[in-house]
Structure 1
Amino acid sequence: MAKSKRAGRLTLLGRSEAKLPASPSDARLETFTNPAPRRNYWIHFETDDFTSVCPVTGQPDFARIDIDYVPDRLCIESKSLKFYLASYRNERAFNEAVTNRILDDFVTACAPREAVVTAQFSARGGIALTVRAEYPNKKPNRGEK
């Protein structure tokens, strides 16, 4: 099968790249052409291997990240997403800011029809935190998860 023009611009896939981006600003979410742009379908990514840093204490914050989206013209390439998420390992930010930035960067990269980022942060001090950010902006129902 021939490579599509869009797939030819992928820089990480198929390479044994070991150097992770130093920060989310240095990372790049790569895309390829949606193979079924006329259909609404959901794509789901998940990882239990997410870490960022509390901006106050400097302690690591561990999370499970789920990203669900309906692509429009572009899909996110998974290896670039892995590198992008790993770039948060030294990022000092509150959990809410991290989750919303992931969604913003994701939407900027692929302009999906819909997207939801759910970040389930591990308990610290006995309290776990889940942040859910949606695109397009929807008015949440009280108590909605």
Structure 2
Amino acid sequence: MSDTPHDPQTGSTPRFLGQSTGLPTSPEEAELDYVPNPREGSLYMVRFSAPEFTSLCPVTGQPDFAHLVIDYAPQATIVESKSLKLFLGSFRNHCGFHEDVTVGIGQRLFDEMAPRWLRIGGYWYPRGGIPIDVFWQSGPVPEGLWVPEQGVQNYRGRG
């Protein structure tokens, strides 16, 4: 990790971009980079899709798979995508229930980045024959913000 001071509220030079970086061993160890919003004052939405997200079942230790969709309307900063990828990858060896993992990711991004609005959809593949979808948002959608559907179909199996 870099010794460069990092202020999530104001953004700083990305520490991971252009660097060879291994996955953090846990979400708590993972650091997210935030950079100044190049369009501060404009109302717009950013979407990240992670269709191959994995974490571990806290009971069995077996892998759980999800398609995560993160939407947010930035204010002063935006999250740097490589640091987000490393943060999400840090869950690969993390045990947590679907609800805790999904809501925890959304809350951490919201608390650190302080966007106008954020939502996350966690579309989890079946465990014990039952798919679980988890949704969290920080509050009402800002007036005038275009928010398309997340576009993830309900799980159908072989249909």
**Coarse TM-score class (shorter-chain normalised):** 0.7 to 0.9
Q: CA deviation at 1:48?
A: 1.2
Secondary structure of 2:119's counterpart equals strand
Change beyond 3 A, Cα 1:50–1:107: same
| Aligned with 1:34 (options 12, 15, 37) | 37
Counterpart contact for 1:63–1:122, Cα < 8 Å:
yes
- AA at the equivalent of 1:48: P
Secondary structure of 1:65's counterpart equals strand
For 1:79-136, what per-residue CA distance to the aligned partner results, in whole angstroms no more than 9, with x for missing partners?
0000000000111110000011101110122100000011111112221111011013
Equivalence map 1:45-124=2 (5 Å): 45-124=48-127
Determine the C-alpha separation between the residues in 2 that align with 1:68 and 1:8: 22
Instruction: State the aligned residue count.
Output: 133
Change beyond 3 A, Cα 1:137–1:38: closer
RMSD of the alignment, in Å? 1.8
- TM-score when normalising by structure 1: 0.86
- TM-score when normalising by structure 2: 0.78
Secondary structure of 1:67's counterpart equals strand
| Aligned with 1:126 (options 126, 129, 132) | 129
Determine the C-alpha separation between the residues in 2 that align with 1:7 and 1:132: 27
- 5+ residue gaps, structure 2, are 1-9, 142-149, 151-159
Secondary structure of 1:9's counterpart equals coil
Change beyond 3 A, Cα 1:104–1:8: closer
| Aligned with 2:139 (options 132, 136, 139) | 136
Counterpart contact for 1:31–1:76, Cα < 8 Å:
yes
- AA at the equivalent of 1:102: I
Counterpart contact for 1:50–1:86, Cα < 8 Å:
yes
Determine the C-alpha separation between the residues in 1 that align with 2:109 and 2:87: 10
Show the counterpart of 2:14: 10
Counterpart contact for 2:12–2:33, Cα < 8 Å:
no
